Amino acid sequence: VGVLRATGVLPDELWTVIFGYATFYIFLLVWQKIRDFVQRPQIVFLDKLCIDQHDERLKEQGIMGLAGFLDNTKKLTVLWSPQYFSRLWCTYELATFLRNPDQHKPLEVMPVGMCYLLFLMAFCWRVLLFAYYFLIASPGILGPQAATSLRQIFPVLVIVILPMHFYKGLSLMKHIRMLPQQLQTFRVQEAQCFCCSNDHRHPESQKPLPCDRLLVFNTLRQWYGEVDEDPEGHLETFNAMVRDVMSNKMMKAACGETLPFHYALNMVVTANIPWLTEYVAKLGAGPPIPLEGLGLLVWSLRTFMDWAQMCLMMLCAMRCSVWLWCRGVSLLERLPKLLVVLLLIPVQ
């Protein structure tokens, strides 16, 4: 788009950044279909969909074959929430994937709250970028008087937007802080399952439900065997593996308490690349005064850095936000969350 603006095919106006955002959302929505034309489709095993939930015989066969599916899985993605380790099936699947210590398969832990946080942060940054470029960086578009008046909106936008993602960020860090304690106090005997929670009857049809807990416990007995004639020895062996082996891998996969860099980088790049067209058009038009040689090179680099500094500023702001969220979690024990948010925003 920037090249088309520089060559006069498109008007040299700021509204053309819409094409960049439109391209991003088109690829976001239909990328998998486009990808199928050039690469083999990725196969994902999603237990809720791939194991029959209506035919009990097929369901039992699917459960018994779950280890086979997971053994042939190249990567496991855990959509973690604070309730994850209280669910029998979630823990069973994770333990199945990690039960062979000789296999070093990648494990990715994606807190469900992280998805909402990334979406909210991306939305906030896009709003702020539009406000910055239209009200501050290019005030001539609206006229000097209108730009001066509307420029007062920019700090208002910051004041309104920052509390939203700070509030969500504090919630996410609070949940992640719960993960080590959940792992260290885990007992499969206390994990919940749908059938036992509903007294082994379907809540709608009232038909009897077979006990998934017995099925899982019998599978664990086959894996670990009886221990010193203790009827729950195999369960305690499983609990120990969750607390020791899974604890280390889960905490490492969850990236501690930080926002994974590749997610932050993707969000920053996709938010800023459409605005690169503005600077490409400037480079195509050339400097306002005749330059050549080293002077032209320096001017070109400075023009590019005007765009790059916004990316760096966004990355730094996100890292600072995460650092503040981690420190703010300790304040939640003594102060309401909204008050903690209001205390942290001025520091940001």
User: Across residues 291-312, what is the average pLDDT?
Assistant: 85
- Amino acid identity at 188: V
DSSP string, 197-237: HTTTB-TTT--B---HHHHHHHHHHHHH--BTTBTTHHHHH
Q: What's the token pair of residue 93? A: 């699947």
Q: What is the pLDDT of residues 217-265, one digit of tens each?
A: 887 887 777 656 667 778 888 888 778 776 766 666 555 556 777 888 8
Predicted pLDDT of residue 18: 84
Q: What is the pLDDT of residues 86-134, one digit of tens each?
A: 888 888 887 777 777 666 777 777 888 888 888 888 888 888 787 777 7
Sign for the pseudo-dihedral over CA of 253, 255, 260, 261: negative
Residue 116: partners with Cβ closer than 8 Å, 6 or more residues away: 168
User: Across residues 52-70, what is the average pLDDT?
Assistant: 76
pTM value is 0.71
Domain ranges of the chain: 1-41, 74-275+301-344
Q: What is the pLDDT of residues 180-196, one digit of tens each?
A: 788 888 888 888 887 88
Q: Which of 74-78, 144-148, 285-289, 297-301 has the lowest mean pLDDT?
A: 144-148
Q: Is the pLDDT of residue 147 over 60?
A: no
Task: State how far the Cα of 70 lies from the Cα of 67, in Å rounded to an integer.
Answer: 5
User: Across residues 28-36, what is the average pLDDT?
Assistant: 81
Predicted pLDDT of residue 46: 81
Best-predicted range by mean pLDDT (46-55, 59-68, 186-195): 186-195
Instruction: Name the pLDDT band for 348 (thresholds 50, 70, 90).
Output: low
Predicted pLDDT of residue 136: 64
Angle at 279 between CA 275 and CA 280, to 5 degrees: 105
Q: Is the pLDDT of residue 169 over 80?
A: yes
Sign for the pseudo-dihedral over CA of 171, 174, 176, 181: negative
Task: State how far the Cα of 114 lies from the Cα of 273, in Å rounded to an integer.
Answer: 23
